A and B are shown apart, each in its own frame.
Chain A
């Protein structure tokens, strides 16, 4: 009797599911390299440039290393300090309004009912955000035109005389502030609305049963959920206002006089009109430092983990 032998199935090489020590690096590499290329390298280049005499229209002078000379020159530059102070004034003018209006709109949209209206308003909030800065500036030029602008038309309806918005230093400053508020209040509203949607329903409903005061509800229940959003808004808007350029440039070019000459307009002028890249880089690096300091301050002042 012949014995039946069955060959064992050929042994497959086991699939290697374990990760080598380089695997995480390989997964992270594309993101890190991209970040390096578009974020870190330009920043390092700006730092190096800021330590050199680097004028693109004086290439025959070379690009000698000048140490901290550009930083000292910037800090001693009266115009830089003036434009920075004007930017700070702009910030404290628009931010409270944007925050107050943003919270108000978010609370209105958070109320139960009016489903269709809320949906329409939410979509329409995106429109100003999606509008290009330069276009916002051009719209601003039309709105605040002394002769046929909508702003003066409104004023006339209420029996007020028309103002020379863009030809008057205070009027021009107010006009760019209004356009910034128009563009960025929806952003604040959407961030706060996201915060409000994080409030647990049962907590909010219980609170509504406890109190009929919307202010008490806001203060004790909703506010903690708004603080992370508030921190984000403050950080993002600080950085954004420090580099606000297109809208103001198309609307006023920094004038009349120096009424709307914000720091970013000044840096652009130094960098791309005079082409003094060394000084402009030093200015930009100082603004970066300022943004980081402000961000840390905002985080320590407002950011709270929600328990």
Chain B
């Protein structure tokens, strides 16, 4: 239940922000129907909204989407599939469906894990797309997004997505360093590139600290 409500609100804000950042309602719908991974979709419209190039938006979205590959690896023994079925299984491989399936696996219920994956994946897919449509249509009626503070919703959405990942001093330090690098880069690099440099900061820290730990 909690997931459903959260997905609905998240989808509404995605639809509204996508239109506010300059996409058409149809383009927002393609992102929700085909890309179907919230963090990447927000990153995509975030870069476009900041005036970034398509290539930079694509790179930011796909870097954030890299975690879905890991989800797929964890899910493939739990939710075995092949052929056309695998196309669907892959599409529904997202944060929520993976979390629900793995929770049942941890509880020692492999069959329930499969059911949870499909039930969660399908419910989120339907809810996410309906909410995106409602948000996009709603935003088209509002007029100038800045008058409603809609442009302030994008930073708030990114902060809310980042929040649960700030687990310790290291992640907070990486986040602050990425903010500094992105703002410095804004003065010299074209829009979109600063976001990618923020990601690069994280990877450099990950590789550098890994060596000292082992």
Task: Tell me, yes or no, whether A binds B.
Answer: no
B interface residues (Cβ-Cβ under 8 A, vs A) = none
